[in-house]
Structure 1
Amino acid sequence: MSGGSTTEPRTESLVAVSHGTSDPAGQRAINSLVEEIRRAASVAVHQSFVDVQEPRASTLLLGLPDEEQHAVLVPLLLSRGVHVDQDLTEAAALRPNTRIAPALGPHPSLALVIEHRLVQAGWRRGEPVILAGAGTRLAQGVHDCQQVANLLAGLLGVQVTAAFVAAATPSLGEAVAAARAASPQHRVVVASYLLAPGYFQSLIERCGADLVSDPLLAPDAEVPAELVNLVLHRFLAALS
């Protein structure tokens, strides 16, 4: 018999973790994104949630097959917040060799998708834009959204103001009112900085703006390649 040692192949898996929603259109949008990730990835891809839907990330991790030794939780979330900093950290601690990738934002790819959604909605070049994020109590999450507003401003060549549906300031309602007062002759344009349709998107659509864009994953539309590539980029970076 020959001596020496053998090394078992390292097997990774990508666990896509979204917020979860009871909205059927939002569920279809996230499911479509995960399916596109699964088609593009060279590893096993699983879907989980931090709220509303099942399986939760912790439950899924505990049920992964033994051969998937290195799991990476990739948040399908646009900025840092309690779900990334607390919920996923607690879930990852339940299984050895589990890593957590950063949230999707901020990243230039997100600004590109938002620009596309604005153009689809009828945005006219030169019109200022309000970027409407969900909101978070974490200062870093607010900063993340402001960074995306800056990236979008660079693409559009106009002022882009970050505002929030909840938990952070300025509120979307305040931003819309301020824009209306500052330029009553211009339309108030709001770009949705949400990943998928759902309750928060419905609030954005009722904010009083003249024009509101679809979320990044528009209802029953093709999944932007930029989002798929960004998820895979976050996954690979977490492994390196």
Structure 2
Amino acid sequence: MIVLVAHGTRAPEGAMVAEELARRVRAEAGLPVRVAYADVRQPDVTNVLNSVRGHQAVVIPAFLAAGYHVRTDIPAQIAASGHPGVVLAEPFGPAPELLEVVRDRLEWAGRRPGDAVVLAAAGSSDPRALAEVRTAADALSRELGTGVRVGYAATARPSVADAVSLARGRGRRVAVASWLLAPGLFQRKVADSGADVVAEPLGVHPAVVDLVVRRYHQALQQMVAA
């Protein structure tokens, strides 16, 4: 079975995205999928794993960068469950198919050739997570054929609003690509950044569903190889 771990948000629409993503993965992979949250909401990973004893579980962090929650919180919650049959998969990270989703969301929002582009991410105190965001921005830059600045909704700097101001220069329009999975507080900060175009989060896109299934199979292969 899959335990799909989202960050957690008080925004109901954010939880709806996590549940809908789980529903679509169930339909595509034919596997049971449970949603857990690393923070803010319940159930957490420990509670979900305690409820599925007797079943092997692949825990998949639905995170776009491997910061504190991925490296510390989720492993600690797995350990606290004492569940003997758990495999921790790789997080989503800057997977190439997700960059295609970001590009599509940006185009649908109304980005025009010549617009300055900012990639808006959640932010982290972990420099390794910030480096992964920069990797995603560089890949998006290659996709679009233009430079891409990074702005953060929390914790790191520059903020999304500051990145938009820096990108505007000479009166250019600014389009913000959302490097977030679901709506919530962070996406509202992105929407309030002063940009001319603001793309929606990745959400429940077929490429995101496919990535969850791929992470599941990769985790099982690593377990067999070990």
Q: TM-score range by the shorter chain?
A: over 0.9
Cα deviations by residue, 1:74-108 (Å, 9 ceiling, x for unpaired):
01111111111111111222212312112101111
Q: Shift in Å at residue 22 of structure 1? A: 1.7
Moved over 6 A (4+): none
Name the structure with the higher helix share. 2
> Which residue pairs with 2:208 in the alignment?
227
Paired with 2:59 and 2:31, the residues of 1 have a C-alpha distance of 13
Cα deviations by residue, 1:152-190 (Å, 9 ceiling, x for unpaired):
11111111112211111222222112112x232x10111
Matched, 1:72 2:72: no
Residue identity matched to 2:214: H
- 1:191 aligns to what SS in structure 2? strand
Identity, % of aligned positions: 37
> Which residue pairs with 1:24 in the alignment?
12
Contact 1:15 1:46 in 2 (8 A): yes
Contact 1:92 1:99 in 2 (8 A): no
Contact 1:126 1:157 in 2 (8 A): no
Question: TM-score of the superposition, structure 2-length normalised?
Answer: 0.92
Name the Cα RMSD after superposition: 1.3
> Which residue pairs with 1:194 in the alignment?
180
1:159 counterpart (147, 152, 164): 147
Paired with 2:87 and 2:170, the residues of 1 have a C-alpha distance of 47
Paired with 1:92 and 1:232, the residues of 2 have a C-alpha distance of 20
Paired with 1:91 and 1:27, the residues of 2 have a C-alpha distance of 20
Gaps of 5+ in 1: 1-12, 218-222
Paired with 2:95 and 2:134, the residues of 1 have a C-alpha distance of 11
Contact 2:154 2:186 in 1 (8 A): no
Gaps of 5+ in 2: 222-226
Paired with 1:196 and 1:212, the residues of 2 have a C-alpha distance of 14
Larger Rg: 1
> Which residue pairs with 1:130 in the alignment?
118
Question: TM-score of the superposition, structure 1-length normalised?
Answer: 0.87
